[in-house]
Amino acid sequence: MPSTAYLVLAHADPRQCARLARALLADREAHVFLHVDLKSTVDFSIVTSVDPTRVHWVAERHRITWGGFNMVRAALAAIAQALASPVGFDYLVLLSEMDYPIRHPEAIRDFIRGREYRQHINRVDVRASPEHYLKVARQFEFRDAWLPFGTLDKVLRKACSLALRPVHRELPAGMVCTGSQWWALTDACARYVLDVARKDDRYEKFFRFVLASDEYYFHTVIQNSRFAGEAVPLTPYQGRGIWRTANLHVIDPSLTRIYSLKDFDELKASGKFFVRKVTSAVSTPLLDRIDEDLGI
């Protein structure tokens, strides 16, 4: 039976994360690989208690800053641990603790394996957006921490980013793409990305200074590989908003909306497979209704 590895990036809401793991594991062949932000002081042990045999800690942890390259490193660490597992996964799906399935995980499993295009990672050529995405890709942005002192570190990094704003960097060879952070990749494609990360540092050297590099790195590596032909064709640029490139998710254009019970009908009619964003504080009645609907 095909097995799915769900790579979950977590930082603040163990109750929601445990509920997400429980829902995903309704697919009896699925496993969860949990990366907890190294900055987090929250106890996530409740998540592994869901099923200690199918929920795994990602041992290599990174200190996450929004928009920083450590988000890419965290995803790569989760990929590495999943691919090293003796289970043998044919798909890896990247999620966060703020996601939740709105279709049964077995239906998700069947969908991602049944498409003509095997790699679920929409991509936009940044050259199609010179006023924004190309501009962002060519600017220096220092997001990952330099110093252990919070305020001083933020001020210093911000000052350096602003000082270098007039500098426009040359893009790396090949096509540079952007798209939604949340993807589903075959094991072969994920293994290729991991191999590139380990052996070809030109992508890291460039993207570690790009704002929201997790929305560029994987897309660019795959676009410049044989796996580009296994992904959907490039998405035409339709304006700013990475939510436009969502693969399996419902993502609100505001990027901040927390979905609640009143949104159930909208989500059910969306045709998508996950909702983003939900929290234990706001979304519990919604998740109860989803569970009831899916029978999980």
pTM comes to: 0.96
Q: What is the pLDDT of residues 20-57, one digit of tens each?
A: 999 999 999 999 999 999 999 999 999 999 999 999 99
Q: What is the pLDDT of residue 150?
A: 83
Q: What is the pLDDT of residue 2?
A: 80
Instruction: List the domains of the chain with CATH numbers.
Output: 4-122+181-200+242-294 (3.90.550)
Q: What is the pLDDT of residue 38?
A: 96
Closest CA to 265 of 275, 279, 256, 254: 275
Work out the average pLDDT over 60-84. 97
The b-or-e profile of 62-71 (16+ CB within 10 A means b, else e) is bebbebbbbb
What tokens were used for 104? Answer: 């049964």
pLDDT band of residue 4 (cuts 50, 70, 90) is: very high
Query: Which residues share a beta bridge with 31?
Result: 5
Q: What is the pLDDT of residue 177?
A: 98
Q: What is the pLDDT of residues 206-257, one digit of tens each?
A: 999 999 999 999 999 999 999 999 999 999 999 999 999 999 999 999 999 9
Work out the average pLDDT over 161-183. 95
Residue 147 has pLDDT above 90, yes or no: no
3-state secondary structure 69-118: CHHHHHHHHHHHHHHCCCCCCCEEEEEECCEEECCCHHHHHHHHHCCCCC
pLDDT band of residue 184 (cuts 50, 70, 90) is: very high
Q: What is the pLDDT of residue 205?
A: 96
